[in-house]
Every structure is written in C-alpha cells, then in structure tokens.
Amino acid sequence: MTTKIFLNLPVKDLNRTIAFFTQLGFSFNPKFTNEKGTCLVIGENSNVMLLVEEFYKTFTKKEICNTATTSEVIISIAVETRAQVDEMIEKVIKAGGSEYMKVQDYGWMYHRTFLDMDGHHWEVFFMDETQMPQMN
C-alpha cells in the first residue's frame, strides 16, 4: 500500500483560495472537491485539503488558530532549482499572497517563505543533498 498524506487547512473563502493556488500552478483533485473544500495536489502522494472553516470545525473540538498571531504548521515544498523557488514567490505576490521572511541561502539549500490568503505559512526550497554538510 502506498502511503498518501492529506494535510488539512481551514480557509475563509474557498473560491479565492482555489484562484490563488491555481495562479501558482497547482491543480486540484476533483474527486475530493465540492463547496466545502478541495484537494490541492502537491505531488503524487502529497495533498492539502483546503476546507471551509465551518466544515473544518467538524473534524476538531479545538479552535481554529489565528494565523495572524499563531503558527499552526509550516508547509515546505521542494522544487528542482533555485530559479523555481524565485518563480514561485513571484507568482505568490502576483496572486495576492505575501513573502513572509528573508531569503535563506545556505549554499546547499535555498528557500523563501510566503503566507497564503489565509495566513498559512509555506516554504519553497531547493536543496542539493550532495552539498549538504555532515550532521554531527
């Protein structure tokens, strides 16, 4: 059996969220899409369920965090080149998201961070594992 990951995030406006991630070049799985949520496809076995807040609340007894003041998760996506990292951030800004932190360049790893329309924290990075320093 292949393991699949479905991360779940609450969103305020599903159509606005779909438009944002479409502009970044992502696709959605129609089998898991209706007026309550959609399945953002990150990779073959990696997905993010973007669920309207009221529907999201049916899965937990906890309060939805205020992303303006609280970090609930950092979602990191690896891409194949440094240029793709920069291209993604350019798309984020054009689509209405915001770059969140300074560029981090460690030589062997390069990453940038952004906040989506609901304030969720994402990182896009390129990593050359052959240049990675030895862990002690």
pLDDT tens digits for range 108-117: 999 999 999 9
pLDDT tens digits, residue range 1-40? Answer: 789 999 999 999 999 999 999 999 999 999 999 999 999 9
Concatenating the DSSP letter of every residue in 3-42 gives: --EEEEEEES-HHHHHHHHHHTT-EEEEEEEETTEEEEEE
Q: Cα separation of 37 and 12, whole Å?
A: 11
Domain annotation for the chain: domains and CATH numbers:
1-59 (3.10.180.10), 71-127 (3.10.180.10)
